[in-house]
Amino acid sequence: MSAVVASATSADAASTVVPADDVADRLELVRESAPLVQCLTNVVVANATANILLALGAAPAMVDIPEEAGLFAGVASAVLVNLGTPHAEQRAAMEHAVRSASTAGTPWVLDPVAVGALPVRTALARKLAAARPTAIRGNASEIMALAGVGAGGRGVDATDSVDAAAEAAEALARRFGAVVAVSGAVDLVTDGERTVLVRTGHARLTTMTGGGCALGAVMAAFLAAGGDPLVAVVAASAVYTIAAEIAAERSAGPGSFAPAFLDALAGIDGEGVRARALLA
């Protein structure tokens, strides 16, 4: 049986295997349900995020003004809160959306972009995390800074390794009852008790605008399908990174990678997942 994962990174976390069949099933559920994902995200990646959700089979909605964000979060299938360019109006909209999503039981994902050295977004990230997101996704430096054990990276780029962030990720997961995903060469996903490593992917994904931020939206789409949140986040990461591998094989560089990645996401199916899933 092929699997996407599997070794624990600390004595506190139990080793976990997520079968490739479960990932394939989750992908099928997303395609069948076409979840409506509200994205309160940054201006740099909004277009890429919308296109990636469409390629996956989800429906993006960039509703991020205070007067509408809370109302929409109550009817959306899932919500992404990405702190990449948190101007004042969007910050207010994020708080409205989070309150509404929490009341409605709508899954939501927090992406604490560039937290640490930047005070406005760092304070906001900690306030929103206290509202107990379904999942938190970031690079190693962002996760460590949110946990209070690091100063953040170089802007949006990590200066810490995924291994270094493992204990911080587990602690965050236990503290807020969230699934925490640390993106890197090998992605780490934990709920504080179980830890999963997703070993698929390609470095070219880091050369595409929105390559990291859009993953948070994809996780929201997979969470909307229901079931075990850990499995949903692992499945989102696996599908996304397998599509990156496929796109890298079909492209010559960053310019051709982005459209190839959209094509790969649109074309990936259960058979493709099973063929490329890795045993840790």
Non-local (6+) Cβ contacts of 32 within 8 A are none
C-alpha 105/C-alpha 175 separation (Å) is 19
| Of 76, 50, 17, 81, residue with least CA distance to 231 | 17
Question: Does 100 carry a binding-site annotation?
Answer: no
Question: Residue 21: helix, strand or coil by DSSP?
Answer: helix
Name the residue among 181, 261, 166 with its Cα closest to residue 222: 181
Report CA-CA distances (Å) from 247 to 23, 47, 105.
19, 19, 35
- Tell whether 272 is in a known binding site: no
Tokens representing residue 256 in the block: 């051709």
First-to-last C-alpha distance (Å) of the chain? 12
The reply to whether 183 sits in an annotated binding site is: yes
**Any known ligand binding at 144?**
no
Binding-site entries for substrate: 62, 210
Binding-site entries for ATP: 137, 183
Binding-site entries: 62, 137, 183, 210
